[in-house]
A and B are shown apart, each in its own frame.
Chain A
Amino acid sequence: MAGCRAHDPASLDAFFRVHARYVERVIARLTGPTPDLEDLVQTTFIQAFQSFGRFRGEASLKTWVTRIAVHVALHQLRAGVRRALPLELVPEGQEPVDSAPRADQEASSRQLARRLHALLDGIAPKKRVAFLLYTVEENSIEEVAALTGASKAATKSRIWFARRELMALVKAHPDLGPLIDAAEGQPWR
């Protein structure tokens, strides 16, 4: 920690190696697939490296760097995330019969996740981030509030509104139901 505060390259390097993959995962979860992931991770670590002097040790280093990553992701979401084209998925049973052999499952799963993230683009960034931190990253309400710098009441409200908006968005895309069922391996209805 003292080495990081002193901008010692070896200490900063060790900090990066410990936390890089986790930061990548958090940002990728919050923003969805984007060609800007590399830039976002880089921005997070540059901000962290330059802010060690202000780290008071009240939270763990992991929580502290996660907070920075969350703010970087929020900033990016507000600016508009660049997306790869979410190609339409082929409903089960309608696949082309002479399709070339390929890793269909992997591609479908990836495309479904991309499509769901594109749906989430319809939810305000603050609500989306709180919702994903709570439901996907499994943070408690208190942890989400600390990571986003919001009150507990505001956090609960954001998660609840995001839930409602996501349900409306899923309803508006009835073709998603069978694909989600297929991805889960069992129907929920």
Chain B
Amino acid sequence: MALSCARAARVSLASIGGHATPAERLELESHLAVCARCSAEHADLAAVRVLRAAEPEGLSTAARERVRRAALAGTMRAPAPARRRFWPVGLGATFALASLAAFLMVRRPSNEPRVVSGDVAIVPVVPGMATSPAADGAVSIRSARGGEVRLGDADTALGAQTALVWRRAARSVELREGSVTIDIEHRAGQHFQVRTPRFVVEVIGTRFTVDLAGVRTERGTVRVLGTDGAAIGFVTAGRSWTLPAKTTPTAQAAGPVPPAPTEAPPAPPPVPALMVASASPARASSDEGPARLAQARRALARGNAGEARRLVEPIFHLGREVAVEARVIYAESFLVEGRYADAVDGYETVVRDFPRTPQAESALYAVAQLESEHGRAAAARAGLQHYLDRYPRGRFAREASDRLAGLTAPPR
């Protein structure tokens, strides 16, 4: 029996979802052989077969373990999801408020400190002990054995025996003892600070570790300031800055939480000059290069961006073919994490250090595309024009021209 085109369309969709019977599939094949329109429509649905065949990128074992611990801990701490408190209320206005609150919870990271794992205690700073605690939402955070806590939009890992004060309004951590690793994304116009009694670390978007003796930057760049605000210098990725041992305020480590830096001893000793020590990862041998690239690609496919970076960092020094691919993976790893500023930095490194490679062309276009997709029209226009000037017949020339025309079109 011949299928009608309308029924063929329904069977086509059912067959892609695995719902058609063998008889229906046979009928469909017969119809597609003689009906060009239905055949073309069926072909357009091949995209679905590609999605079915592509194994979704799941969580790494470590990530799954983090989820397990956090879910169990969250259940122990909180009896019910916050938004469900709104459910019994039937009034339309209340429902709208609940929806808005849920929307904002997803769109914007919460400013309330949230324990992710470990033994972390959070208590409000007692009024009168610090400067205007009620106004800036200051809380004291302690951990004896280490743990993870979310502070605003920063993922924070506390070392053992760590005490700090988080000032939400100032986006500032005051480290009193121990060490803290901050992982934070760039937010335009907003800086994040870690203050110690002797120096201040200011960051735009990066990952870095601070203790009372210094700072080590894993990604991005941080600026080190004196407590009086005077700039000391910058610490770039893979480098560290340390106070000389004789001026390290170790005496405070075992004592009670001292007052905020603004209430610190009135005449602190002068901050020493910046001393930058190389802390580059160990270098891998040349025969490890291809294997590390393949492993890093797989890590990236699993969404494990940090692992991908750890795999490629030791092969940056190898020959051009390996090094450029390692740099591309490094840049892509930031994209996977949604760290666009770092990704742009990574791609620019590819363009700058490997200008005559195919990857440089892709990277140059990627930078312009990222600028465009994040609303930085001027930078996007400049980037796209730069790409077209450099690769007038390049692989992305058509897309670059189209995108540039869209950016330069007069408003309707």
Contacts and interface: CB of A to CB of B under 8 A. Distances in A.
Contact of B359 (A12, A100, A159): A100
A176 to B, nearest CB: 7
A9 to B, nearest CB: 6
Interface string A132-145: 10111010100000
Contacts of B16: 135
Interface string B54-75: 1011110001101110111011
Query: Is the interface on chain A under 10, 10 to 19, 20 to 34, or 35 or more residues?
Result: 35 or more
Interface in A106-153: 106-107, 109-110, 112-113, 116-117, 119, 132, 134-136, 138, 140
Given A47-B81, A106-B301, A135-B52, A33 B57 contact: yes
Given A37-B59, A136-B48, A50 B81 contact: yes
A79 B67 contact: no
A85 to B, nearest CB: 5
Nearest to B322: A100
A57 interface: no
Query: Is the interface on chain B under 10, 10 to 19, 20 to 34, or 35 or more residues?
Result: 35 or more
Contact of B46 (A13, A100, A107, A184): A184
Given A46-B75, A102-B297, A138 B17 contact: yes
B175 interface: no
B47 A176 contact: yes
B96 interface: no
B397 to A, nearest CB: 11
Interface stretch (B36-44, B195-203, B233-241, B378-386): B36-44
Contacts, number: 191
A90 B53 CA distance: 21
A45 B71 contact: yes
B81 A46 contact: yes
Contacts of B301: 106, 110
B64 A24 contact: yes
Interface stretch (B101-109, B119-127, B280-288): B101-109
8 smallest A-B Cβ distances: which pairs?
Answer: A96-B358, A28-B56, A188-B43, A45-B71, A100-B321, A49-B75, A113-B54, A79-B106
Interface of B: 13, 16-19, 39-54, 56-59, 63-64, 66-68, 70-72, 74-76, 78-81, 102-103, 106-107, 290, 293-294, 297-298, 301, 303, 305, 321-322, 324-325, 332, 335-338, 343, 357-359, 361-362, 365-366, 369-370, 373, 395-396, 399
Given A79-B107, A167-B44, A184-B53, 12 more contacts: A12-B75, A25-B58, A28-B57, A42-B74, A49-B75, A84-B335, A100-B321, A103-B294, A113-B51, A135-B13, A163-B13, A184-B50
